[in-house]
Amino acid sequence: MMRRWLIIAVVLLAAGAAALLVSRTPRTTNQPTAGDQSVLNRSQTSPPDVPTNPAPDPTTDQLLATARLFAERYGTTSSEAPVAHLESVLSVCSSALAQTFQRQISQPPAPTATRITSRALTFAVRSQDERAGRADVMVTLRREEQAGTEPTKTYNQELNLQFVRQGDAWKVNAATWGKQL
């Protein structure tokens, strides 16, 4: 008999908890209520104010993807492979910049015990002219520099990239290091 009362008590307790959860769940409806006149008026006169993101621009997306690839590879150097950063970006360079880098690759610098790792943080398209086939992008990089046995130095630095359009692709035409931030 005691067992029966215990089972009934557990079932009632579970039913009460379920009812409490259902009553606390907010109810949503797609239709405005009659008491909400501002919603009724707005929905009858204009679409609701919904923030919209502009449609992605494939040209700008390609420009920024190329900027990221170039900035991170160009900004990462190592004394173990002193020209690898130049070799790794040749495919996204204009023919003029590629020639400049090829000359630098053929005359590698004297080795130093330095390693710099760069990661792109932000991008700012400063100008973009599709007709002229030119663009200017400022990339802010987080750089970690290890020189010999010195402690790692971490800083941010700007890299200004000037692009030219060659065929269907944006190519880096000039790269200028800016100030350390």
- Tell me the C-alpha distance between 90 and 99, whole Å: 9
DSSP letter at 92?
G
Give the torsion through C-alpha atoms of 51, 55, 71, 164, to 10 deg: -140
In the predicted structure, residue 172 carries a pLDDT above the cut 90: yes
Residue 159 falls inside a structural domain:
yes
**pLDDT tens string 79-92:** 888 889 999 999 99
Range of the domain at 164: 58-180
In the predicted structure, residue 31 carries a pLDDT above the cut 80: no
Q: pTM of the full predicted structure?
A: 0.66
Q: Total structural domains in the chain?
A: 1
Q: What is the pLDDT of residue 64?
A: 93
3-state DSSP assignment of residue 129: strand
Domain CATH code at residue 98: 3.10.450.540
Residue 118 falls inside a structural domain:
yes
* Cα of 34 vs its chain's centroid, Å: 44
Sheet containing strand 169-180, edge to edge, reads 77-78, 114-129, 134-147, 153-166, 169-180
